[in-house]
């Protein structure tokens, strides 16, 4: 066969094979047998082997998985992949509806209801209709590039039906049948079984060898647009219809309603029907349909105000309380944990459940040896919801809360207005160990390679006693190599991560220090306000409470922490080790004179010259404050392309509006001044 004939046949085969892929994996109505499909694939493979220069990235032969990757690259999401707020009952859904209607006023509202697939959130990017990159959700801001693994999923189109550039969000999952088959094969090979389909799907997509992902029979449902160029869509339901038209697999079990009563009826129906689906779901997602209304509702720091995830009532199981273990956290709080006879619950084996504090044990009337009812709160955290006293045999025994710390032996105290017992010994090893675990966590200093087990080893070996000791570990490399499961590569990576953490902006350090009541957001506010750690350390109560987000209790906690000699010593050592103590984030320049200084500003629509985040940072740098909704307190609205209801509201209220050109002109004036 000559090259021209081969090229035509290859193109015809690709079109035919992808058509059958869609019929089988997306529409569930195959037209040919597996044998006939395999014959088409073999013919295409033979032709591509004969003419390798004709192989393209969107060919069906490229789904089989290439060579193993050394690691996953990081991907920054252009639009954050935020998590959803949760609803656990009818009243939560009605509260959500009330909040939506309070903002939208008399506007009619339509809700789209969809199944919440229990899998791994993914982002897919297409350029001119071709699949170019796929990533995990990660922390919502940054994910991992798993393009090669996603190419192996046949329900993901490698080429769209139209040459659009867009980004879509969806869920990769493992069907129940594929999960059962995989576990049966692992059992036959004597390998550990996967706990549930969600874990197995996530594990499959994070394999560095794409051929493993290709063998796992994963599937997808695409549920939203992240970015779309060249076309305009007015609503979420229109967006889902467009996704289907482009060749994506969109879940058919979705409905649009114009009132919350119908939404609740639909949700309740699926509570009963969920076991009969061929895939796992853990709830329902309810979204405001109109994109203009979504924009008007805006976002909180963690989630959109226009959507909510309804979690199904948790599964329950009966098991035996075999014991109660007491642990000490980083703040000294002593927490009892129930030790249970292992029981299967919501797809996982449950052996432990939180009891929170001594009062909970007393209120529930728990005895060691009791039969108890266990459920997963939100299908995540196991808890004991009831005791079955009628099953008692007389051999059950009461639990007595310790009076002394199980780690250091110091007497436990109950602080006024608190239910938890606490160890207040600053030298308690449990406080130090848990404090280091918090210090290295993702939201704090984000030091990879220092998990709980490694930190426990470091403590047992006497290599660390507090967070400052981490920065001396480079001098103890040989000792580190003596620890179990720590080879040269892992030790070097860990030391490199510790060294890199010195460059963090100071809000991570403030949060990592574990000051009571100071969360990640408060740490950022404090860092931006004071500029460095020294300013915060010497702040008065009046200065602290003068900040909007800082109340009297948090201020007292901050002052008490920095008054401790141990805290002062640790901070001095951190500084000596070269840990950054200055704020590196965006903050308004002191005394800045700009048209944005002191003003409350709303961004609406799409800016062609920069992302929303970049615009917000530039405004913040020039002294402005960006908010998500237009009100009488708004000073200025910046309107890009496809500006919607926010622009209309601003015009009605007589608020000044700038288009992108005028906005850029003001920025240019500031840059040149």
Which domain CATH number covers 53? 1.10.287.610
Do 359 and 249 fall within a single domain? no
Of 474, 75, 28, 43, the C-alpha closest to 250 is: 28
175 occurs within a structural domain = yes
Confidence band (pLDDT; 50, 70, 90) for 110?
Answer: very high
Report d(CA 428, CA 409) in Å as an integer.
9
Of 240, 300, 244, the C-alpha closest to 103 is: 300
Do 138 and 102 fall within a single domain? yes
- Residue 584: the pLDDT is 82
71 occurs within a structural domain = no
Residue 258 CA, chain-centre distance (Å), reads: 30
Question: To which residue do tokens 């044990």 refer?
Answer: 361
Do 510 and 616 fall within a single domain? no
Query: What average pLDDT does the segment 427-436 reach?
Result: 88
Of 93-97, 579-583, 591-595, 598-602, least confident by mean pLDDT is: 591-595
- Residue 40: the pLDDT is 86
| Crossing angle for the helix pair 429-439 and 452-460, to the nearest 10 degrees | 140
Confidence band (pLDDT; 50, 70, 90) for 593?
Answer: low
- Residue 297: the pLDDT is 93
Note whether 167 and 78 are within 8 A (CB).
yes
**How many domains does one find in the chain?**
6
- Residue 322: the pLDDT is 96
Of 434-443, 459-468, 583-592, least confident by mean pLDDT is: 583-592
Confidence band (pLDDT; 50, 70, 90) for 349?
Answer: confident
Of 131-135, 255-259, 602-606, least confident by mean pLDDT is: 602-606
78 occurs within a structural domain = no
403 occurs within a structural domain = no
- Residue 669: the pLDDT is 60
Q: Which two tokens stand for residue 223?
A: 């549920």
Report d(CA 134, CA 203) in Å as an integer.
16
- Which of 8, 78, 116, 632 does the annotation list as catalytic? 116
- Whether the pLDDT of residue 161 is over 70: the answer is yes
Which domain CATH number covers 473? 1.10.150.20
530 occurs within a structural domain = yes
Could you read off the pLDDT of 521-534 as tens digits, one per residue? 788 889 988 999 99
Q: Which two tokens stand for residue 18?
A: 């992808």
3-state class of 268 per DSSP? helix
Confidence band (pLDDT; 50, 70, 90) for 313?
Answer: confident
Higher pLDDT, residue 126 or 199:
126
Report d(CA 609, CA 607) in Å as an integer.
6
Which domain CATH number covers 109? 3.30.470.30
Confidence band (pLDDT; 50, 70, 90) for 141?
Answer: confident
Note whether 467 and 435 are within 8 A (CB).
yes
- Residue 346: the pLDDT is 64
Mean pLDDT of the chain: 86
Do 301 and 335 fall within a single domain? no
**DSSP letter string over 65-126?**
--SPPSSPPEEE-SS--PPPEEE-SHHHHHHHHHHHHHHHTTS---EEEEEEE-SEEEEEEE
590 occurs within a structural domain = no
Q: Which residues contact 217 (CB under 8 A, 6 or more apart)?
A: 174, 175, 178, 181, 182
Of 152, 119, 150, 128, the C-alpha closest to 246 is: 128
Q: Which residues of 530-542 are buried (b: 16+ CB within 10 A; e: fewer)?
A: bbebebbbebeee
End-of-domain residue from the set 501, 528, 557: 501
Do 639 and 566 fall within a single domain? no
Domain that holds residue 561: 506-576
- Whether the pLDDT of residue 329 is over 80: the answer is yes
592 occurs within a structural domain = no
Do 340 and 324 fall within a single domain? yes
- Residue 266: the pLDDT is 95
Do 613 and 667 fall within a single domain? yes
Do 368 and 437 fall within a single domain? no
Q: Which two tokens stand for residue 623?
A: 């002294």
Residue 26 CA, chain-centre distance (Å), reads: 27
Do 391 and 295 fall within a single domain? no
- Residue 533: the pLDDT is 96
- Residue 153 is given by DSSP the state -
Query: What average pLDDT does the segment 94-98 reach?
Result: 95
Report the share of the chain in percent with pLDDT over 90: 45
Query: What average pLDDT does the segment 635-645 reach?
Result: 84
- Residue 673: the pLDDT is 47
Higher pLDDT, residue 376 or 624:
624
Higher pLDDT, residue 255 or 50:
255
Note whether 207 and 213 are within 8 A (CB).
yes
Report d(CA 287, CA 96) in Å as an integer.
10
Per 3-state DSSP, what percentage of the chain is helix, strand, and coil (rounded to 5)? Answer: 40, 20, 35
451 occurs within a structural domain = yes
| Crossing angle for the helix pair 197-205 and 176-188, to the nearest 10 degrees | 80
Do 92 and 199 fall within a single domain? yes
- Residue 347: the pLDDT is 62
Phi, psi of 650 (to 5 degrees): -65, -40
Of 243, 189, 241, 178, the C-alpha closest to 214 is: 178
Do 38 and 151 fall within a single domain? no
Note whether 450 and 440 are within 8 A (CB).
yes
Confidence band (pLDDT; 50, 70, 90) for 606?
Answer: confident
Question: Does 351 participate in catalysis according to the annotation?
Answer: no
Report d(CA 235, CA 289) in Å as an integer.
5
Do 391 and 442 fall within a single domain? no
Of 43-52, 560-569, 614-623, least confident by mean pLDDT is: 614-623
End-of-domain residue from the set 576, 591, 617: 576
Of 398, 399, 371, the C-alpha closest to 385 is: 371
Query: What average pLDDT does the segment 393-419 reach?
Result: 88
- Whether the pLDDT of residue 59 is over 90: the answer is no
End-of-domain residue from the set 475, 501, 527: 501
């Amino acid at each position: 066969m000559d090259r021209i004939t081969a090229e035509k046949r290859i193109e015809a085969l690709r079109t035919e094979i992808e058509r059958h892929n869609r019929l089988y994996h997306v529409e569930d109505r195959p037209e040919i047998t597996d044998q006939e499909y395999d014959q088409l694939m073999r013919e295409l493979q033979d032709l591509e082997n004969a003419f390798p220069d004709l192989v393209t990235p969107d060919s069906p032969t490229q789904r089989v998985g290439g060579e193993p990757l050394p690691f996953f690259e990081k991907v920054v999401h252009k639009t954050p992949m935020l998590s959803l707020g949760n609803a656990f009952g009818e009243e939560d859904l009605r509260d959500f509806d009330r909040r939506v209607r309070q903002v939208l006023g008399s506007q009619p509202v339509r809700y789209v209801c969809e199944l919440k697939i229990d899998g791994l959130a993914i982002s897919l990017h297409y350029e001119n209709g071709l699949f170019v990159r796929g990533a995990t959700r990660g922390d919502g801001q940054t994910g991992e590039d798993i393009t090669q693994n996603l190419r192996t999923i046949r329900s993901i189109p490698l080429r769209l039906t139209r040459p659009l550039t867009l980004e879509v969000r969806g869920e990769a999952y493992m069907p129940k049948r594929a999960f059962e088959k995989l576990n049966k094969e692992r059992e036959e090979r004597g390998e550990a079984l996967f706990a549930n389909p969600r874990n197995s799907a996530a594990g499959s997509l994070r394999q560095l060898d794409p051929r493993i992902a290709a063998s796992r029979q994963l599937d997808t449902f695409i549920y939203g647009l992240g970015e779309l160029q060249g076309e305009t869509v007015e609503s979420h339901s229109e967006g889902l219809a467009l996704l289907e038209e482009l060749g994506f697999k969109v879940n058919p079990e979705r409905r649009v309603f114009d009132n919350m009563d119908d939404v609740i009826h639909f949700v309740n129906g699926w509570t009963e029907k969920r076991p009969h689906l061929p895939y796992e779901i853990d709830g329902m997602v309810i979204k405001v349909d109109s994109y203009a209304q979504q924009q008007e509702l805006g976002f909180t720091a963690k989630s959109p105000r226009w959507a909510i995830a309804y979690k199904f009532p948790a599964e329950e199981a009966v098991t035996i309380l075999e014991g109660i273990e007491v642990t000490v956290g980083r703040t000294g709080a002593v927490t009892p944990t129930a030790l249970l006879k292992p029981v299967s619950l919501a797809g996982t084996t449950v052996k432990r459940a939180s009891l929170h504090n001594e009062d909970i044990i007393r209120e529930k009337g728990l005895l060691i040896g009791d039969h108890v009812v266990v459920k997963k709160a939100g299908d995540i955290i196991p808890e004991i919801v009831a005791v079955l006293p009628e099953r008692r045999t007389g051999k059950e025994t009461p639990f007595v809360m310790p009076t002394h710390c199980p780690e250091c032996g110091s007497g436990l105290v109950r602080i006024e207005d608190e239910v938890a017992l606490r160890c207040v010994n600053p030298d308690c090893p449990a406080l130090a160990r848990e404090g280091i675990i918090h210090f290295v966590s993702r939201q704090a200093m984000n030091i990879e390679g220092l998990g709980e087990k490694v930190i426990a080893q470091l403590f047992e070996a006497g290599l660390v006693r507090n967070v400052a000791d981490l920065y001396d570990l480079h001098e103890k490399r040989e000792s580190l190599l003596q620890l179990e499961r720590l080879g040269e590569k892992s030790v070097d990576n860990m030391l490199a991560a510790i060294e890199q953490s010195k460059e963090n902006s100071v809000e991570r350090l403030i949060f990592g220090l574990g000051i009571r009541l100071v969360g990640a957001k408060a740490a950022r506010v404090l860092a931006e306000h004071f500029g460095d750690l020294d300013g915060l350390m010497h702040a008065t109560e009046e200065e602290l409470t003068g900040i909007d987000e800082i109340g009297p209790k948090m201020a007292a906690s901050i002052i008490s922490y920095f008054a401790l000699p141990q805290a002062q010593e640790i901070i001095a050592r951190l500084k000596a080790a070269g840990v950054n103590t200055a704020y590196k984030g965006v903050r308004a320049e002191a005394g800045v004179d700009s048209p944005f200084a002191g003003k409350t500003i709303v961004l609406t629509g799409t800016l062609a010259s920069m992302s929303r985040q970049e615009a917000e940072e530039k405004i913040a740098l020039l002294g402005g404050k960006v908010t998500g909704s237009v009100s009488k307190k708004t000073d200025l609205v910046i309107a890009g392309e496809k500006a919607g209801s926010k622009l209309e509201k601003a015009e009605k209220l007589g608020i000044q509006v700038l288009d992108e050109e005028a906005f850029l002109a003001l920025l240019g004036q500031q840059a040149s001044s």
